[in-house]
């Protein structure tokens, strides 16, 4: 089979056969097809798209290019959750222990952050001693023992995706819907969970910023999973401002602990409880969202969720004492709170730029090999639409030195504007997508 013919077929908008897709995916995994030919095919796919059948074949081929987890030894319906990435999105660290505390096993394979998006693995590694690299057998044994695990993806899983993902980043094909959907869903299929809840972000900090495109991505991924025999649901949630108030790895762990301890609430808690509720439903542990929320709220208020988080941290070699004393987390040497410079209302924020500001402090990475500083970041003391007085705390910067601290502060003053008139905050939940289709949210709730 000739790679040039595969490129030509897609260039001319012809559907690729299963054999053609298997051929180039195998070549991507084992390195037998040159990067320049794969890059040409990726651009042809970006320009001409893929049919439903092609997309299923591509996703399955990528999933089967490496290790496929078998979770059948775990009692119950094992569930997973995936976010398309954002800023201050610490839902995993809240909902995984809560869902597990409700008796539903959670196998969560997570990634590292890149550019403006934060990575759950990086956040976990800010906990002293925390181990996130596990063999599949170790992960399964932990889930059988305590009900949950949050670990990095096995290096043997979806090797074809690693090659294609790296090429997409340098060929301006990151925004291709079939390539996004197949990349995400191949990893979800390979990780073995029977129930999958997707959190598809929309807004300035999302991989797909417009709502129409975000809903289409959610529909595509849900359809792929259903056709592969998985129980699927997707929520389209807002990322026009950071989801949480804490941006930075150790800071986000602290916010998760604060929520699990009952000391904090807000948008992060709301979205985490909603996602966790649908995880319970996919595991047949709750019949509807209202019942699921009650079950999760009881686990939160009784302290069972926090105790499960401690148990998971200890099982993975970390110090569970951080749940009782968050000062045990890494702390930056330079910390300063900056005041509001005028009376008014917090205006719309650019979540992507806020994420890039955290990256400039050292909380993120431009390239996968970059090192991050787990202690740095910032805390936002205002949400869009909040009324503020001159002198009110606006944000607190955690930096490695005074130079980066003041540089970040000047950037944040431009990214957290104070306006004379009230600005309406964007919706937290825009749509729910499942086997029955799409439900859109209006100002008062779901239509």
Cα 54 from Cα 64, distance rounded (Å): 15
Query: Under a CB-based contact definition with an 8 Å cutoff, are residues 385 and 345 in contact?
Result: yes
Cα 318 from Cα 43, distance rounded (Å): 43
Cα 27 from Cα 10, distance rounded (Å): 17
Active site residue 82: yes
Active-site option among 64, 81, 162, 187: 187
Query: Under a CB-based contact definition with an 8 Å cutoff, are residues 408 and 360 in contact?
Result: yes
Task: Enter the tokens of residue 341.
Answer: 């410079």
Task: Enter the tokens of residue 131.
Answer: 């181990």
Residue in the structure block whose two tokens are 């998006």: 117
Cα 294 from Cα 406, distance rounded (Å): 44
Active site residue 230: no
SS3 344: strand
Active-site option among 168, 188, 230, 231: 168
Cα 357 from Cα 411, distance rounded (Å): 7
Active site residue 168: yes
Cα 160 from Cα 24, distance rounded (Å): 9
Active site residue 161: yes
Cα 60 from Cα 229, distance rounded (Å): 12
What DSSP line would sit under 93-127, residue for residue?
HHHHHHHHHTT--EEEEE---BTTB--HHHHHHTS
Active site residue 30: no
Q: Which helix (H) or strand (E) holds 161?
A: helix 159-170
Q: Which helix (H) or strand (E) holds 434?
A: strand 429-434
Residue in the structure block whose two tokens are 């602990």: 257
Residue 263, classified by CB atoms within 10 Å of its CB into exposed (0-12), middle (13-18) or buried (19+), is exposed
Q: Residue 125's Cα: distance from chain center in Å?
A: 16
Active-site option among 10, 46, 81, 82: 82
**DSSP state, 149?**
E
Query: Under a CB-based contact definition with an 8 Å cutoff, are residues 108 and 148 in contact?
Result: yes
Q: Tally DSSP H helices, then E strands, for the chain.
A: 16, 15
Active-site option among 126, 183, 191, 214: 183
Catalytic center residues: 82, 161, 168, 183, 187
């Amino acid at each position: 089979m000739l790679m040039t013919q595969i490129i030509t077929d897609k260039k001319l908008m012809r559907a690729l056969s299963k054999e053609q897709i298997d051929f180039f995916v195998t070549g991507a995994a084992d390195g037998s097809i040159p990067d320049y030919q794969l890059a040409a095919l990726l651009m042809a796919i970006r320009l001409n798209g893929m049919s439903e059948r092609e997309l299923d074949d591509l996703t399955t081929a990528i999933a089967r290019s490496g290790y496929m987890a078998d979770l059948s030894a775990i009692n119950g319906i094992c569930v997973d959750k995936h976010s398309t990435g954002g800023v201050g999105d610490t839902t995993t660290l809240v909902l995984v222990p809560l869902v597990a505390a409700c008796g539903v096993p959670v196998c969560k394979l997570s990634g590292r952050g890149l550019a403006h998006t934060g990575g759950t693995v990086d956040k976990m590694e800010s906990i002293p001693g925390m181990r996130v690299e596990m063999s599949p057998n170790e992960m399964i044994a932990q889930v059988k023992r305590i009900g949950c695990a949050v670990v990095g993806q096995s290096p043997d899983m979806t090797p074809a995706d690693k090659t294609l993902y790296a090429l997409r980043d340098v060929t301006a094909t990151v925004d291709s819907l079939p390539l996004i959907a197949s990349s995400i869903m191949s990893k979800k299929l390979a990780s073995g969970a029977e129930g999958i809840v997707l959190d598809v972000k929309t807004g300035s900090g999302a991989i797909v910023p417009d709502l129409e495109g975000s809903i289409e991505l959610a529909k595509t991924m849900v359809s792929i999973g259903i056709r592969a025999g998985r129980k699927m649901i997707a929520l389209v949630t807002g990322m026009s401002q950071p989801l949480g108030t804490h941006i930075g790895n150790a800071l986000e762990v602290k916010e998760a602990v604060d929520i699990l301890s009952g000391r904090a609430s807000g948008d992060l808690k709301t979205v985490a409880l909603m996602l966790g509720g649908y995880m319970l439903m996919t595991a047949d542990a709750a019949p509807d969202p209202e019942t699921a929320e009650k079950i999760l709220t009881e686990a939160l208020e009784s302290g069972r969720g926090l105790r499960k988080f401690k148990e998971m941290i200890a099982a993975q070699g970390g110090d569970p004492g951080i749940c009782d004393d968050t000062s045990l987390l890494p702390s930056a040497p330079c910390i300063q709170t900056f005041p509001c410079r005028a009376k008014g209302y917090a205006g719309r924020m650019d979540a992507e730029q806020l994420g890039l500001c955290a990256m400039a402090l050292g909380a993120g990475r431009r390239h996968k090999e970059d090192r991050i500083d787990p202690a740095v970041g910032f805390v936002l003391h205002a949400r869009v639409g909040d009324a503020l007085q001159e002198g009110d705390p606006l944000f607190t910067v955690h930096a490695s030195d005074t130079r980066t601290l003041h540089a970040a502060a000047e950037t944040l003053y431009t990214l957290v504007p104070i306006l004379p008139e009230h600005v309406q905050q964007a919706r937290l939940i825009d749509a729910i997508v499942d086997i029955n289709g799409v439900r859109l949210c209006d100002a008062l709730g779901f239509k």
